[in-house]
A and B are shown apart, each in its own frame.
Chain A
């Protein structure tokens, strides 16, 4: 039976007066890529931020790798093994590419440095701009750095929020290939509006609407289900 690395049960999240997540329940299976789909404002990004502790849950339980983390602070969630790649190419712009990686390593080890070679095979540009400030990279390179940085941190689970946002189609294709390589090493939860990318990377999916999970299943089934795609994702 497949084992869940992350389980959310009846999670509610409030941001100020707004009740954003209204009882989200989902599971991410270890070693697979799970995609969260839904319209804008459905609560996908808030789900990731709630898991990280950046917008703490007001009710419900979050269990990561057998450990309750719904009350944990973000740094503790990160140290427990959850890597987070926020949207908008979230790199540390004033730091060099090298510094971004060394920060993400938490503890530098020969294994972590050896991992860098895998990263350079996937994202060759990052080696070229190794000593450049991350702020001068192109949008695609920044996104690659953000993802690669989370990967080098030896995380058991990567939460990736809309990596294709604002990127050219050719860069998105490269990103899809890279994420498919990365998912061989770690579990991924991906929030994505671009259905092409979601379907290429994801194994499982959850559709969120108005802060609740309204549908879930295998991605290969969703690809063929035109009615469901039309109803919740607006894809004809």
Chain B
């Protein structure tokens, strides 16, 4: 063998690579993208568009959290805080810039990335060398500090009232560009497409990241830190890299979320419930899967949007059943039951469990019971 000719192993890998555009997984992704593009034009409902935009943003935020928790095994409670830093960067720059221009949006995005990178590097450098629980406690304290800062620094953040703002030019809620195939083209629709494009790019970036050599090292660290070190990898550097990258993506998601709402307040983008939601989404979707983020975000956001409507449905379907009305009124209980069921039936999350089952089938074909 000359060393220039591909070995049989390399040939097999090249063959696998050549088939990647015809695999069912790729075709499903393509179909999903087509639905997201055509959806608002075919079915112009603001409620549905609002739901889908939030699912897209949270799917990417959850996938970025999965890089930190699922791939590297680091427990961070500051992911929601980074989301909030991104959201506040957009909100404050757009609110205090009169008149707001396109370059202000760009500046906000750059500022969000810069602040989150600096904060993540400082937190990681100070606390990732020691035990994981210490990092978790530090991130919890810093996140809570930022939440309180959002309330207390009211001269800048408007405190509990929050900051509302206008977006520039074609992204403004007032802008209208006529109709296309019966659908009104307006600022909201263009913000939706902007979110779609940025989220798709970020998601592809996350998938490429976990499939890169760096992603492999992160998985090795999660599996056994000492073995990864003995193989020649500087574990600390990789941990910092993972935390910074995940936090950076989260802050960009926060920036998109603020653009979608044109409003932020400390509870919606910095509060503990946001962090818990992200945690629930990643557990439901499956740790260490990236794609699980899409399912986790969809499950929680759909449940949050549609479960409150159960009360109306119960009233119309069973007008005399008091118990049914009470149950439907307390939809959060049903949400809890749904969550417990999902964990019971998909202990490794939906994607994680399905992957395990596929792996088991493949092993059986290879003769392993």
Which residues on the A side are within 8 Å of B362 (C-beta)? 131-132
Identify the stretch in B227-235, B247-255, B321-329, B331-339 within 8 Å (CB) of chain A at 4 or more residues: B227-235
On whether the beta carbons of A132 and B359 are closer than 8 Å, the reply is yes
Q: Which single member of A74, A94, A106, A114 contacts B230 (CB below 8 Å)?
A: A74
How near does chain B come to A143, taking the closest CB pair, in angstroms?
14
Partner of B3, one of A95, A102, A111: A111
CB of B234 within 8 A of CB of A92, answer no
Q: Are A117 and B222 in contact (CB under 8 A)?
A: no
Q: Provide the residues of chain A in CB contact with B213, threshold 8 Å.
A: 102
- The reply to whether B366 and A54 contact each other, CB–CB distance below 8 Å, is no
Residue among A75, A93, A136 with max Cβ neighbours from chain B (10 Å): A75
**Are A136 and B368 in touch, CB under 8 angstroms?**
yes
Report the Cα distance A129→B12, complex, angstroms. 14
B220 at the interface (CB under 8 A from A): yes
Chain B residue at minimum C-beta to C-beta distance from A119: B9
A103, B231: Cβ atoms under 8 Å? Answer: yes
B217 proximal to A (CB < 8 A): yes
The answer to whether A95 touches B359, judged by C-beta atoms less than 8 angstroms apart, is: no
9 A-B pairs with CB atoms under 8 Å apart are A54-B226, A75-B230, A75-B232, A95-B220, A99-B216, A103-B216, A111-B3, A117-B7, A127-B9
What residues of chain B lie closer than 8 Å to A130, measured between beta carbons? 9, 12
* B7 adjacent to A113 (CB under 8 Å): yes
| A103-B217, A110-B3 known; A92-B230 Cβ under 8 A | no
The answer to whether B126 has its CB under 8 Å from any CB of chain A is no
Contact, CB under 8 Å: B9 / A116: yes
- For residue B363, CB closer than 8 A to chain A, the reply is yes
A78 interface hit (Cβ, 8 Å): yes
A94 to B220, CA, bound (A): 8
Chain A residues whose C-beta falls within 8 Å of the C-beta of B6 in the assembled complex: 113
Q: Closest CB-CB distance, B226 to chain A, in whole Å?
A: 7
9 additional contacts (CB under 8 A) given A75-B229, A75-B233, A113-B7: A74-B230, A78-B232, A90-B227, A103-B231, A103-B233, A104-B231, A114-B7, A128-B366, A129-B368
Complexed CA–CA distance, A153 and B233 (Å): 13
Q: Out of A79, A92, A110, A127, which one reaches B232, CB within 8 Å?
A: A79
| Cα-based distance from A104 to B222 in the complex (angstroms) | 16
Q: Is the CB of B7 within 8 A of A93?
A: no
Residue pair A114, B359 in contact (C-beta under 8 Å): no
**Contacting residues of chain B (315-369) with chain A, CB-CB under 8 angstroms:** 359, 362-363, 366, 368
Whole-angstrom CA separation of A155 from B330 in the bound complex = 63
A99 touches B219 (CB 8 A): yes
* B233: min CB distance to chain A, Å: 6
B1: which of A75, A117, A136 is its contact (CB, 8 Å)?
A117
Interface assignment of B22: CB less than 8 Å from any CB of chain A:
no
Interface check B47, CB cutoff 8 A = no
Give the secondary structure class of A's interface.
helix
Residues of A within 8 A of B99 (CB): none
Query: What per-residue 1/0 map shows which CB atoms of A162-186 lie under 8 Å from chain B?
Result: 0000000000000000000000000
Q: Give the chain B neighbours of A111 by CB distance below 8 A.
A: 3
Residue of B nearest to A137 (CB): B368
Residues of A within 8 A of B (CB): 52, 54, 73-75, 78-79, 84, 86, 90, 92-95, 99, 102-104, 106, 110-111, 113-114, 116-117, 120, 127-133, 136, 153
Q: How far is the CA of A74 from the CA of B232 in the complex (A)?
A: 7
Query: What does the 1/0 interface line of B211-244 toward A look like (CB < 8 Å)?
Result: 0010011011011101111111111000000000
**Contacting pair B230 A95 (CB below 8 A):** no
B8 at the interface (CB under 8 A from A): yes
Given A92-B227, A117-B8, decide whether A132 and B232 contact each other with a Cβ distance below 8 A: no
Q: How far is the CB of A185 from chain B (nearest CB, A)?
A: 15
**Interface residue from A90, A104, A113 paired with B10 (Cβ < 8 Å):** A113
When A95-B223, A99-B219, A102-B213 are in contact, do A54 and B3 touch as well, CB less than 8 Å? no
Q: Is the CB of B216 within 8 A of A95?
A: yes
In the complex, chain B residues whose CB is within 8 Å of the CB of A52: 230
Check A102 against B7 for contact (C-beta < 8 Å): no
Bound-state Cα–Cα, A127 to B8, Å: 11
| Alpha-carbon separation in the docked complex, A94 to B366 (Å) | 19
Question: What residues of chain B lie closer than 8 Å to A133, measured between beta carbons?
Answer: 359
- Whether A86 contacts B220 by the Cβ 8 Å rule is no
- Choose among B12, B219, B363 the residue that contacts A94 (Cβ–Cβ < 8 A): B219
**Cβ-defined contact, A92 with B224, below 8 A:** yes
Nearest residue (CB) in A for B288 is: A94
Which residues from chain B contact A120 at a C-beta distance below 8 Å?
9
In Å, the complex CA distance between A131 and B4 comes to 24
Interface centre among B3, B9, B213, B368 (most CB of A within 10 A): B9
Q: B12 to chain A: which residues have CB within 8 Å?
A: 130
Please give, as numbers and ranges, the residues of chain A lying within 8 Å of B368 by CB-CB distance. Answer: 129, 132, 136
B20 shortest CB reach to chain A, Å: 14
Encoded as 1 (CB less than 8 Å from any A CB) or 0, chain B from 1 to 44 comes to 10110111110100000000000000000000000000000000
The 7 closest A-B pairs by CB, nearest first: A78-B232, A92-B223, A94-B223, A74-B229, A79-B232, A110-B3, A84-B230
